[in-house]
A and B are shown apart, each in its own frame.
Chain A
């Protein structure tokens, strides 16, 4: 049996009368990339934010590295990281200044060496004196990822990391993430609306609909289950007919 980097059990979150996440149970194994898919409002962001400790679950539990997130927030956060298209680094600092700040926040040993190493890896060494607000989308994404890898995380939460990137840069980013995952036995929770991302990079996929898991399995299992040619077709199928699908249907891995 594979050991889990993250385990969520019966996770539920409601905002007043609105049930955002409903009895969600999932696990991310060590070295695995788990794709979290769903239409807008399916509960992906709320789920990810609960896993980052930004939202307190109404009920259920989250264990990361075998520890309860609520009780051990700081030691857990030291071993994980996060990157999102929607969370920028301060636009009025330079690339170097931003990374230097985050090496301090994540208690990175030998910060300058680590920053140089990461900037080289993500091919942004030439931008170190540039003001972050002047970077292109692609450069900005690579900087966000650079920050996310500064503390050598064991678990990474990536929220639409390739949104707004051109296909060439998106492909480079995917390839790099995949390479780093293999090299470091990194566990990743990956959300995206880009089906190409999910097909290429994720080992396992969970489709959410109205806060619950509607189906989970590998890319091929899911396509086979829905008798669709592509994940995009599955996505549309679920988004439009989610209520009609038997939520118990779980392809066997």
Chain B
């Protein structure tokens, strides 16, 4: 892997935000809206009902921020690819001396950058409006975020692979893929709420272990390391699967002459 190539690609995607700060608005606007909606809804339920809801708001705000980590990591990968597709630059990228792993590494870096910005913005809003201190999770945030980002990257690679094969028709998948797994990941509720069949599916996603682990940490103050290890193991499987599907689709696209088609659509 050549770091010079990765840096050049990261520059290409970051210049968009530096040159036109309005583009950065999307990084702030949607996470802020989500947080406002879920935060105020929780406060309303808390006010209108009786019972102990002391940890409820922390569950929901925490879940909203954690979900965005996964979602923005996935978007970091797929949006970077789509940027090249929308500006008809893919052909120039494909004929440049870039290895697939360098291209993917650059997209991962963009994912990390996007996640960092979103987390900072959301943590500030959560603290100001709901007195929720994300950093109270302290160092436990690190394994949680790494697991969620890794799964987001895998989903991003899968989305890009589908776009490579089916072109613009599959573009909406860039947004849809994470939401396909959201109900199973038990983001805002516990897994045992789900019907039995869905529970089985839920435990196949690395994200489920993280959201359950986060709730457990909020409730009991203990870190469930088994959940982290299970998530890590599943992440390795998903990463290998995503890399395999990307290479397969790329090879197929080369064979069918699709690279030029999607690059000049």
Contacts and interface: CB of A to CB of B under 8 A. Distances in A.
A55 B11 contact: no
A91 B251 CA distance: 28
Interface in A94-135: 94, 97, 100-107, 131
A75 B251 CA distance: 19
Contacts of A94: 19
Nearest to A94: B19
A92 interface: yes
Contacts of B16: 92-93
B172 interface: no
Interface in B209-265: 251, 254-257, 259-260, 263-264
B94 interface: yes
B15 interface: yes
Contacts of A20: 257
B11 A88 contact: no
Given A89-B89, A91-B87, A105 B96 contact: yes
Contact of A53 (B2, B11, B83, B95): B95
A88 B259 contact: no
B50 interface: no
Interface in A179-222: none
A45 interface: yes
A90 B95 contact: no
Size bracket of the A interface? 35 or more
Given A89-B89, A92-B19, A101-B12, A74 B99 contact: yes
Given A49-B257, A93-B12, A102 B87 contact: no
Nearest to A58: B255
A36 to B, nearest CB: 16
Contacts of B95: 52-54, 77, 81-82
B263 A107 contact: no
Given A15-B256, A54-B260, A78-B97, A103 B8 contact: yes
Nearest to A91: B87
B88 A54 contact: no
A101 B11 contact: yes
B92 A87 contact: yes
Contacts of A77: 95-97
Interface string B65-104: 0000000000000000001100111011111111100000
Contacts of A54: 91, 94-95, 254, 257, 259-260
A9 to B, nearest CB: 19
Interface of B: 2, 4-5, 7-9, 11-12, 15-16, 19-20, 83-84, 87-89, 91-99, 251, 254-257, 259-260, 263-264
22 contacts: A54-B94, A54-B260, A55-B260, A82-B92, A87-B89, A88-B89, A89-B89, A90-B83, A90-B89, A91-B87, A92-B87, A93-B12, A93-B16, A101-B9, A101-B12, A101-B15, A102-B96, A104-B4, A105-B8, A105-B9, A105-B93, A105-B97
